[in-house]
Structure 1
Amino acid sequence: MSAIMKLNKWANAHTNIGFDMLRICLGAFLFYKGVDFMAHTELIIGVLNPVDTFGWTMIIVHYLTMVHLFGGLLIVIGLLTRPAILLQVPILFSAVLLNFVGEMVPENFIQALIALLLSLFFLVYGSGKHSVDYTLKMRM
């Protein structure tokens, strides 16, 4: 817990509006991908079918969609940013890895890699000053 408090103090001392806009863009992108996954569920099922064991495909599809939708919203407003990103990291890492195991699609690879790198940055950095987390902390 003290490590998180130290990271928050460092991040709040070194924050600017650019980092907050980057966090909002990352959250909006993840939310958009959640909506896209919801609209194109059959494509995700097609990708996951070769590795389907014990019928986990539908559970994974719902996990992907819900984590991207709700995690993206939380990241946009800056509420529980680190836990939301912690749930995103395995998905984004798998998306990067999937491009090497399956068919390489450069656009998807670049999107997944940038989202993963930004997520890892905000996992360390936190939500910044222009967030609900910061506002709630200041009211306490």
Structure 2
Amino acid sequence: MATIRELNKWANAHTSLPIDLLRIALGIFLFLKGVSFITDKKYLHEILSSLGNFGSEMLLIHYVAMAHMAGGVMIIIGFLTRWSIWVQLPIIISAILINFIGEFNLANLTQSILAFVVCLFFLFYGSGKHSADYYLKMEK
């Protein structure tokens, strides 16, 4: 817990608007990915079918879509950012691995790796000064 406090102190001292805009862009990207999984179920079905017969495919589609949408909104407003990113990491790591196990798609691999790197950054950096977390902490 002390490590998180130290990271928050460092992040709040070194915060800037471009980093907050990057956090918001990550949240928007994840939210839109969740929406695209709901609106285009065939696309995710094609990705998962390349891995073979998967029994709980519809459950996985709904988990990924809802996790991306809820986590994306939370990351956009900066509320429980680290927790939201912890939920996103298994999905993003799986997206990276699917490119090597199933059909290789360079665009999806690039998006996944970029999202993974940005998520790792915000996992350590936190939500920053322009966020709901910072506002709620200052209200105490």
AA at the equivalent of 2:12 = N
- 1:139 is aligned to 139
* Structure 2 unaligned regions, length at least 5: none
C-alpha separation between the residues in 2 aligned to 1:37 and 1:101?
20
Could you say which residue in structure 1 is the equivalent of 2:68?
A: 68
2:85 — aligned with what? 85
Q: Give the whole-Å Cα distance in 2 for the aligned partners of 1:113 and 1:130.
A: 26
Q: By how many angstroms is 1:42 displaced?
A: 2.1
Q: Distance in 2 between matches of 1:103 and 1:42?
A: 15
Q: TM-score, normalised by structure 2?
A: 0.94
In structure 1, stretches of 5+ residues that fail to align are none
Partner of 1:128: 128
Range that drifts further, 35-44 or 126-135 = 35-44
Q: When the two structures are aligned, how many residues end up with a matched partner? A: 139
Aligned to 1:107: 107
Work out the CA distance in 2 between the residues paired with 1:103 and 1:52: 15
TM-score (norm 1): 0.94
Instruction: Give 1:51 shift.
Output: 4.0
Write the deviation string for residues 17-65 of structure 1: whole angstroms up to 9, x where unpaired: 1110000000000000000000111221232234445x22111111100
Identity of aligned residues (%): 50
Cα distance in structure 1, aligned partners of 2:95 and 2:36: 15
Structure 2 distance, partners of 1:106, 1:85, is: 23
